[in-house]
Amino acid sequence: MDEEGEERIVGGGGGPENGVVVTAGPSDACGCGGGHVSRRDCLERTAGSPLPRSLADLPPELLVEIFSLLPGTALPNVALVCKKFKQILKTETIWRRRCVEEFGMKDDLRKVEVGGVSSHDLYVKRITPRVKSGRFMKLLPDYEHMDYRDVYTHLLHPYRHILGLWQPDIGPYGGLLNVVVDGLFIIGWMYLPPHDPRVEDPMRRRPLFRIHLWESKKATVECMYGHKGPHKGDIQTVKKDEFSTKCNQTGHHRMPGGRQEEFRTWLEEEWGRTLEEIFHEHMQELILMKFIYTSQYDNCLTYRRIYLPPAAPSDLLQPGLFKGTYGSHGLEIVMLSFHQKSARATKLTGDPNVPAGQLTLEINLSRPVVLPDLEQQCNIEELSRLVLGVHEEVQREAEQQAGDTGEGACGSDASGDEAQADHAACAGNCQPGPNRTSAHRHEDQPFVLPLGVTARNEVYPRTCRKCFYGTGLIAGHGFTSPERTPGLFVLFDQDRFGFIWLELKSFSLYSRLTDQLAHAHAPNVERFEAMLRNMQSWTS
């Protein structure tokens, strides 16, 4: 992968020049393992000596500590200063710290390998359980002599731009890919929802590709798709915030039993059951359609970067990613974000009716709905009367605003800008906000679904905290005749919410993804908002 010229990294080749070697390893660092040295120890060591007049006059162990604090992209310029600096920059301590702090790599790669919990072993168990780890290890290079500088220079730094969250371009289906540093590998994990309808089960993961170093100190890309183990692949950076993967040996994806065996295996992995166990004919058609559509890509995909939503203390609950039930389409992944007085759920995975990238739910947080007693909640007509009353009121206000004078429109825009600025200020660097338990403490109230409303999972909370008016997006096959229909947003707790689709007489339950996702936060709110706008065009 081509990289910027100003971010050159000191290479791993070349030995000492002119026989002069300046070493500064953990054993030389004033007895402080890992290169850490106290200022007092160094002052005592230099007592009686002339005070250093330049950085080059400092003892090697102190230079190691200083250089360890610099970002890896700054070290090439340091190496150009003098021969002493260049030699010191070959110290493992410096590069180990850069790998750990910049990429979250394990603190000691060799301990991980020797301990028998290496990423290779984990892969063997996930991909080909019948292959013993010892046999698999013979296929990998000897990492005993791999140093941190090689890992940083030839693996982590060149591929740093693909770390984080991505959405694959798979037509209406989308997806969620997380690229992370895992031991001595960079791994692309596809996140899959649990089997329908177990929405509160943890996410499933499937490795699609991995990148690692061979003895030649050259990064190798391998495709992990299929059931025959890793094989040759390739990665190309198309443009900023976009990359593509290609499998060079798609024959590894085929199975001896042909397409029928591939379909049965895919169905068991995707749905956790056989086709005979799925009695609904329409659901069988949807499943077969998805298999035919997705399998044609053979892991040759284009990915676009996505970010986790920013958080503010005023948000109703922590924004983030949720799994939700979508009837015959199974479980899908949505991103919940907050925008002034509204909450939005955007699809990361989709279906032929409403594809990935579309705004599936929009909640009006200024329109709370007070639920009646349990007896009245069971009546769908009573619930419809409450929600449709709010819906008509919102429509009237929208028509009035459309007919307002330019002065009134300007005033509303100004207030909107102010609210957006407040949200941006609270969001800061788009890191998760504080605990909202105390800020939004409400007594739970009884909740029950109205008679006639279907739910994929009958196990849903029987108490809720708040309810709001909202709209959900429905459409015909192929995203034809899309329209927003009124419904009820139900907040159960900080990790679960639901939506009652009045027109469909259906209930969707959403449960939070609890996986830790690194390198996933937007640099600012503007980048996140731009990403949301672009997502709709990706799949439209």
pLDDT at 438: 41
- Which of residues 82 and 133 earns the better pLDDT score? 82
Would you state the pLDDT for residue 2? 44
- Confidence band for 536, pLDDT divided at 50, 70 and 90: confident
pLDDT on residue 358: 96
**What mean pLDDT do residues 218-229 have?**
89
Residue of 86, 143, 83 lying closest to 111 (CA atoms): 143
Within 10 Å of residue 171's Cβ, how many Cβ atoms?
16
The residue-averaged pLDDT of 209-232 equals 87
Helices 60-68 and 92-103: angle between axes, nearest 10 degrees: 20
pLDDT at res. 258: 87
207 SS3 class: strand
Q: Provide the CA 177 distance to its chain's centre, in angstroms.
A: 6
HEC profile for 399-418? HHHHCCCHHHHHHHHHHHHH
pLDDT at position 539, please?
Answer: 63
The pLDDT assigned to 458 comes to 81
225 HSE (CA, 13 A, CB side): 27
pLDDT digit string (tens) for 163-181?
999 999 999 999 999 999 9
Alpha carbon distance 190, 45 (integer Å):
53
- State if pTM tops 0.85: no
Q: In 3-state terms, what secondary structure has residue 293?
A: helix
Provide the terminal-to-terminal Cα distance of the chain, rounded to the nearest Å.
Answer: 31
The Cβ of residue 167 has, within 10 Å, a number of other Cβ atoms equal to 25
Q: Is 248:232 a contact under the CB 8 Å cutoff?
A: yes
Q: What would the pLDDT profile of 98-147 be if each residue is shown by its tens digit? A: 988 888 887 555 544 433 334 444 444 334 444 434 433 333 445 555 78
pLDDT one-digit tens code per residue, 376-407: 999 999 999 999 999 999 999 888 888 775 55
Residue that wins the pLDDT comparison between 228 and 205: 205
The residue that leads in pLDDT, 161 or 184, is: 161
pLDDT range class, residue 272, cuts 50, 70, 90: confident
What pLDDT is recorded for position 47? Answer: 53
Top-confidence residue, 187 or 126: 187
What's the whole-number average pLDDT of the chain?
80
- Asked whether 500 and 453 are in contact (CB, 8 A), the reply is yes
Check residue 525 and give its pLDDT. 92
Between CA 212 and CA 494 the distance in angstroms is 39
Beta bridge partners of 427: none
pLDDT band at 218 (very low <50, low <70, confident <90, very high): confident
State what percent of residues in the chain have pLDDT above 90.
Answer: 47
In angstroms, rounded to a whole number, what is the distance separating the alpha carbons of residues 121 and 132? 9
pLDDT for residue 27: 36
Binning pLDDT at 50, 70 and 90, where does residue 537 land? confident
What was the pLDDT predicted at 441?
Answer: 53
Domain ranges of the chain: 5-103, 109-253, 310-403+422-539
pLDDT of 15 strictly over 70 = no
pLDDT band (50, 70, 90) for residue 422: very low
Q: What is the structure's pLDDT at 227?
A: 82
Burial 511-536 (b: 16+ CB within 10 A, else e): bbbeeebebbbbebbeebbebbeebe
CA 12 to chain centre: 32
Look at the domain 5-103 and name its fold.
Answer: Monooxygenase (1.20.1280)
Q: How far is CA 486 from CA 379, 390, 461, in A?
A: 17, 9, 22
Residues of the chain with pLDDT > 70: what percent? Answer: 75
